[in-house]
């Protein structure tokens, strides 16, 4: 099917206070770059990428940068793809936000793909979307993901189960987005997008040696943070600490 014959693909990124900007910006840049390649004659569907939030107002992130959505949840209730970025304790707080949970559930009902980056998987799980499903998240939050009903899969950049795709910490969202570009177009176009953003990571100290990682190293601190973050959300607190 040619791009001209397809209906518009809408990609909604969920914005909420305190998230990690790269969780959002990395995949967002991938899809934005993809959309420009239609001009090169590549098989890119008509695409609209939108950042949605409960309200259109500047929101704090976990860096000194504020971010502002371009539409409200009500203005884009049924995107083709919905992506939920992650962060630290603010993301855990967002997993108790009824407006966010309702939006994610509604979007997932009709979306072709429901995706998360890093701890964004906790929001999908809190919405009841990952019950019994294989999924991944940031390594330090794996126990929280399992307490919310998902089956944690370690050491994979992304995990795909039907329409649900979860990616691991921060930069893994870029990998997942490139995978989705291939699903929307083809491998050659995905490679062009990768080239366009010059994504060719070579960390100075090599890859992570997962066999040496203690995934529970932050557990004592996290337990204290959960108590403070969810003091007024006893139901979610009980799930995550029980």
Active site residues: 118
Nearest to 118 by CA among 175, 190, 191: 175
How far is the C-alpha of 161 from the C-alpha of 139, rounded, in Å?
19
- Identify whether the C-beta of residue 108 lies closer than 8 Å to the C-beta of residue 82: yes
H or E element at residue 235: helix 234-241
Q: Which stretches of the chain are assigned E, i.e. beta strand? A: 9-14, 47-53, 59-60, 66-67, 71-72, 81-84, 113-117, 134-135, 151-152, 158-161, 164-167
Instruction: Look up tokens 């995978």; give the residue.
Output: 179
């Amino acid at each position: 099917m040619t791009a001209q014959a397809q209906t518009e693909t809408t990609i909604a990124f969920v914005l909420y206070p305190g998230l990690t900007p790269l969780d959002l910006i990395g995949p967002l840049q991938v899809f934005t770059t993809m959309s420009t390649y239609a001009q090169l004659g590549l098989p890119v569907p008509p695409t609209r990428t939108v950042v949605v939030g409960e309200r259109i107002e500047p929101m704090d992130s976990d860096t000194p940068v504020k971010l502002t959505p371009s539409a409200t949840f009500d203005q884009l209730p049924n995107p083709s793809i919905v992506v939920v970025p992650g962060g630290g304790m603010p993301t855990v707080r967002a997993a108790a936000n009824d407006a966010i949970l309702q939006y994610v559930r509604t979007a997932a009902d009709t979306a072709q793909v429901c995706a998360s980056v890093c701890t964004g998987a906790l929001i999908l799980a809190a919405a009841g979307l990952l019950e019994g499903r294989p999924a991944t998240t940031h390594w330090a939050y794996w126990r929280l993901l399992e307490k919310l009903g998902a089956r944690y899969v370690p050491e994979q950049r992304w995990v795909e189960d039907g329409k649900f795709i979860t990616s691991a910490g921060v930069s893994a969202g870029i990998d997942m987005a490139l995978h989705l570009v291939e699903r929307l177009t083809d491998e050659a176009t995905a490679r062009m997008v990768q080239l366009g953003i010059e994504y060719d990571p070579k960390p100075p100290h090599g890859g992570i040696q997962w066999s040496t990682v203690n995934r529970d190293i932050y557990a004592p601190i996290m337990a204290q943070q959960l108590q403070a973050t969810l003091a007024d959300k006893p139901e979610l607190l009980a799930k995550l600490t029980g």
